[in-house]
Amino acid sequence: MLAVLAGPLGACSSIPSLFGGADEVAPDEPPEKLYNEGVFLLDNRRSFKEASKKFEEVERQHPYSDWARKALIMVAYARYEAKDYDECVSAARRFVTLHPGSADAPYAQFLIGSAYYEQIPDITRDQGRTEKAIAALEEVSRKYPDSEYAQNAKRKIEVARDQLAGKEMDTGRYYLKRKDFTGAINRFKIVVTQYQTTRHVEEALMRLSEAYMALGIVNEAQTAAAVLGHNFPGSQWYKDSYTLLRSGGLEPREDAGSWISRAFKGVTRTVGLGG
């Protein structure tokens, strides 16, 4: 009986149902046809989500073909353009896992970081996605330093790090207003030690002078101002810290044993307002 049925089943596009009628089985479409339809939708900006579905069909219908590999990276791209960032990350991660040696692997990794980067919230909110963006983009720089995406990844990392520093500054200022000077110092210390290349480090040093002066720890207040003046002599923040110290009869002066001095590899000179 099986031998008799084999011929008809192979030739038909429908299978007899036990309950009457026939269950239609759609034949697989050629992978290049599905892929090109997806590209057409992308090129014409008609629908990123519809394009993604076309590429997903390539994977579903032809999972072991070279077209499936090409389609997977296009799924990630289409989802990114559609702002479906979680779906983008999922597809790009699968690509990196399945095809780590592919020429498109650097782009897939860059898409992961970019998807998180696009979701960076303002500094008043949790920065978990900012940290994920940095981690994913650092992978681009580490694994694919010669790729065309490495420089772009580095630029985005700097912006994301600036965001994390901004979060610490926001919290530090909050503690400063509440006169929780130790709590404020701890936050500004993070900026000075971990985010020296961000735009927030100047204010952080000035706020350290302010907090240490409030606590009566004058040598640290003087060191913070001295380091600020040495590295950013024209900064308004330095002028503010200088004025603050002078109001207490003090001058900016570095203490070589200070953690601030060590963080900036030691500032070895006394700095005046014009220094």
pLDDT tens, position by position, 122-179: 999 999 999 999 999 999 999 999 999 999 999 999 999 999 999 999 999 999 999 9
**Distance, CA of 6 to CA of 272 (rounded, Å):** 95
Radius of gyration of the chain (CA): 30
Query: Which residue is listed with tokens 């590429």?
Result: 55
Identity of the residue numbered 79? R
The domain ranges of the chain are: 30-161, 179-275
**259 vs 163, 267, 268, CA distance in Å?**
24, 11, 14
Q: Say if residues 111 and 81 touch (Cβ distance below 8 Å).
A: no
User: What's the pLDDT band for 28 if we cut at 50, 70, 90?
Assistant: confident
Provide the pLDDT for residue 266: 43
User: What's the pLDDT band for 46 if we cut at 50, 70, 90?
Assistant: low
pLDDT at residue 226 above 90?
A: yes
**Distance, CA of 201 to CA of 218 (rounded, Å):** 20
SS3 state at 134: helix
Segment among 21-25, 64-68, 118-122, 182-186 with least mean pLDDT? 21-25
What kind and span of H or E run contains 13?
none
Q: Write phi, then psi, for 265 (nearest 5 degrees).
A: 60, 25
Residues 263-267, mean pLDDT to the nearest whole number: 67
Share of the chain above pLDDT 70, in %: 86
3-state helix, strand, coil split of the chain in percent (to 5) is 65, 0, 30
Task: Output the six-digit token pair for 247.
Answer: 């109001």
User: What's the pLDDT band for 275 if we cut at 50, 70, 90?
Assistant: very low
Provide the pLDDT for residue 45: 72
Number of other CB atoms surrounding residue 81 within 10 Å: 15
Provide the pLDDT for residue 27: 60
Distance of CA 218 to the CA centre of its chain: 39
User: What's the pLDDT band for 272 if we cut at 50, 70, 90?
Assistant: very low
Q: Say if residues 152 and 187 touch (Cβ distance below 8 Å).
A: no
Share of the chain above pLDDT 90, in %: 83
Q: Write phi, then psi, for 15 (nearest 5 degrees).
A: -115, 130
Average pLDDT, the chain: 88
Which CATH superfamily is 30-161 part of?
Tetratricopeptide repeat domain (1.25.40.10)
User: What's the pLDDT band for 269 if we cut at 50, 70, 90?
Assistant: very low
